[in-house]
Amino acid sequence: MPIYSEHTYRSRDGLKLYYRDYPGDMKKAPVLCLHGLTRNCRDFEALALKITPGRRVITPDFRGRGQSQYDSMWMNYHAMTYVDDMWSLLRELGIDRVIAIGTSLGGLVAMLMAAVRAETFAGVVLNDIGPEIDPVGAARIKSYAGRFPPPRTWEDAIEQMKYVFDAALPDFNEQQWRDFVRLSYSEDETGIPRLEADPRIGDAVRAIQPPSGAAQGMWLAFKALRNTPTLAIRGELSDLLSVDIFDRMQREHPGLQAVTIKNRGHVPQLDEPPCREALDRFLAELP
* 64-121 confidence digits (pLDDT tens): 999 999 999 999 999 999 999 999 999 999 999 999 999 999 999 999 999 999 999 9
Q: Which domains, from first to last, does the chain contain? A: 5-134+212-285 (3.40.50.1820)
pLDDT digits 0-9 by tens, 6-47: 999 999 999 999 999 999 999 999 999 999 999 999 999 999
Residue 2: per-residue pLDDT: 65
Residue 208: per-residue pLDDT: 85
32's enclosing H/E stretch is strand 31-34
Q: What are the b/e assignments for 217-248, b being 16+ CB within 10 Å?
A: bbbebbbbbeebbbbbbbbebbbbbbeebbeb
Are the CB atoms for 110 and 137 separated by under 8 Å? no
pLDDT digits 0-9 by tens, 181-197: 999 999 988 999 999 99
d(CA 282, CA 192): 40
pLDDT digits 0-9 by tens, 196-250: 999 999 999 999 888 777 889 999 999 999 999 999 999 999 999 999 999 999 9
Residue 212: per-residue pLDDT: 74
272 exposed, middle or buried (CB, 10 Å; 0-12, 13-18, 19+)? middle
